[in-house]
């Protein structure tokens, strides 16, 4: 991958890249908080279409009004799926990353439902870094999706990502 292609990949992030050197010194520290984002009924409906999950608590405001939620709520997996876009706002990429991929989650807990119209944001804590023999860099984040005006988060998770680093000759 050329430096130009890597720079293009980096352009999706709002924060500047950080060097790998000294990254371990930041374990346990908050590294970013995203902007607030409104979870609309339109988002919920589109997610229902994409996943074929049309349970009434998500897509039928009239029926959902009579539940303990008092209206429709977002799918838990919709909220989880916001991690990437919220990370682009809040988390600086590693310098020299050619591309990043999701590895998965060590733990996900859906703590509090997100009602249609609620605003959410993500708070990221740098939890761990592991430089693999391949040169790939696995990073773990402890993430909480917060709901505006609520004390309990929508969800908490340990998120694992993998940065595929540029080869030495690609950076020139």
**How far apart, in whole angstroms, are the C-alpha atoms of residue 45 and residue 33?**
27
Confidence grade of residue 46 (pLDDT, cut at 50, 70, 90): very high
Lowest mean pLDDT among 2-16, 66-80, 132-146, 154-168: 2-16
- The CATH code that applies to domain 3-171 is 3.10.129.10
SS3 content of the chain, % helix, strand, coil (to 5): 30, 35, 35
Query: Which structure tokens are listed for 104?
Result: 């998965």
Confidence grade of residue 169 (pLDDT, cut at 50, 70, 90): low
**How far apart, in whole angstroms, are the C-alpha atoms of residue 63 and residue 129?**
46
**How far apart, in whole angstroms, are the C-alpha atoms of residue 36 and residue 124?**
14
Confidence grade of residue 23 (pLDDT, cut at 50, 70, 90): confident
Whether the pTM exceeds 0.85: the reply is yes
| 22: CB partners within 8 A, 6+ apart | none
pLDDT at 1: 45
**How far apart, in whole angstroms, are the C-alpha atoms of residue 154 and residue 37?**
13
Cβ-count burial 17-29 (b if 16+ within 10 Å, e if not): ebebeebeeeeee
| 86: CB partners within 8 A, 6+ apart | 34, 37, 121, 122, 145
């Amino acid at each position: 991958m050329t430096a130009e292609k890597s720079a293009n990949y980096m352009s999706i992030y709002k924060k500047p890249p950080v060097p790998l050197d000294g990254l371990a010194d930041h374990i346990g520290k908050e590294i970013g908080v995203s902007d607030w984002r409104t979870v609309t009924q339109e988002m919920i409906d589109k997610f229902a279409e994409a996943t074929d999950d049309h349970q009434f608590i998500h897509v039928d405001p009239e029926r959902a009004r009579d539940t303990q939620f008092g209206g429709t709520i977002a799918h838990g997996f919709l909220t989880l799926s916001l991690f990437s876009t919220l990370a682009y706002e809040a988390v600086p990429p590693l310098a020299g990353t050619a591309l990043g991929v999701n590895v998965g989650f060590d733990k996900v807990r859906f703590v509090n439902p997100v009602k249609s119209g609620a605003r959410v944001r993500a708070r990221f804590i740098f939890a761990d870094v592991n430089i693999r023999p391949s040169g790939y860099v696995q990073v773990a984040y402890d993430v909480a999706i917060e709901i505006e005006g609520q004390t309990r988060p929508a969800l908490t998770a340990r998120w694992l990502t993998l940065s595929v680093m540029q080869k030495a000759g690609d950076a020139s």
